[in-house]
């Protein structure tokens, strides 16, 4: 039953999913659907359970790191604070998800860490200037880049700060 649930959630096959879903598999179903961007399954589970659950990773993190904006937005409005998701998106370079979460009001607990992490995967580091809440954030990210000895990132961050 678990394998059938996972397959239906991944495929987004709502008809099959409705036939086989049972309570012990809600968490894994949320995770699989979020990881594949299956908003229809996420919405069904939410209406079925009245909340969001997971077994190992938060569904919003999985959707954020894979760039599924619609799923991220739904899960945020369903009650997730989005802080873990913003870091998951940053580490994968999904700047559209980061921008969405910033616009939704998600606070960046340690913005310099976010910018440092995100800069590894963004082609355009200057985008990071747009989301930085204060000018000192890029300086902090630059300091971290120096600590880790990443000359290319140091150059990119310097150019972005100009």
Q: Which CATH number covers residue 24?
A: 1.25.40.20
Q: Is 69 domain-assigned?
A: yes
Task: Tell which wins on pLDDT, 77 or 7.
Answer: 77
Q: Is 72 domain-assigned?
A: yes
Structural domain tally of the chain? 1
How would you label 49-70 residue by residue, b for 16+ Cβ within 10 Å and e otherwise? eeebbbeebbbbbbbbbbbbbe
Q: Is 92 domain-assigned?
A: no
The C-alpha atoms of residue 100 and residue 115 are separated, in whole angstroms, by 15
The C-alpha atoms of residue 12 and residue 32 are separated, in whole angstroms, by 10
Task: Tell which wins on pLDDT, 69 or 17.
Answer: 69
Q: How many CB atoms lie within 10 A of CB 3?
A: 7
Chain segment 9-64, per-residue pLDDT in tens: 889 989 888 888 887 888 999 999 999 999 999 999 999 999 998 888 999 999 99
**Structural domain of 10:** 1-81
């Amino acid at each position: 039953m678990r394998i059938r649930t996972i397959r239906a959630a991944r495929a987004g096959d709502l008809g099959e999913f409705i036939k086989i879903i049972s309570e012990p598999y809600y968490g894994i179903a949320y995770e699989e659907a979020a990881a594949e961007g299956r908003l229809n399954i996420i919405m069904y589970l939410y209406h079925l359970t009245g909340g969001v659950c997971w077994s190992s990773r938060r569904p919003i993190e999985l959707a954020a790191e894979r760039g599924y904006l619609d799923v991220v937005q739904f899960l945020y409005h369903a009650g997730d604070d989005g802080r873990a998701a913003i870091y998951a998106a940053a580490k994968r370079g999904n700047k559209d998800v980061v921008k969405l979460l910033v616009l939704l009001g998600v606070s960046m607990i340690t913005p310099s860490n976010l910018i440092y992490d995100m800069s590894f995967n963004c082609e355009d580091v200057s985008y990071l200037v747009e989301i930085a809440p204060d000018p000192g954030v890029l300086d902090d990210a630059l300091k971290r880049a120096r600590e880790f000895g990443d000359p290319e990132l140091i150059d990119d961050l310097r150019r972005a700060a100009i």
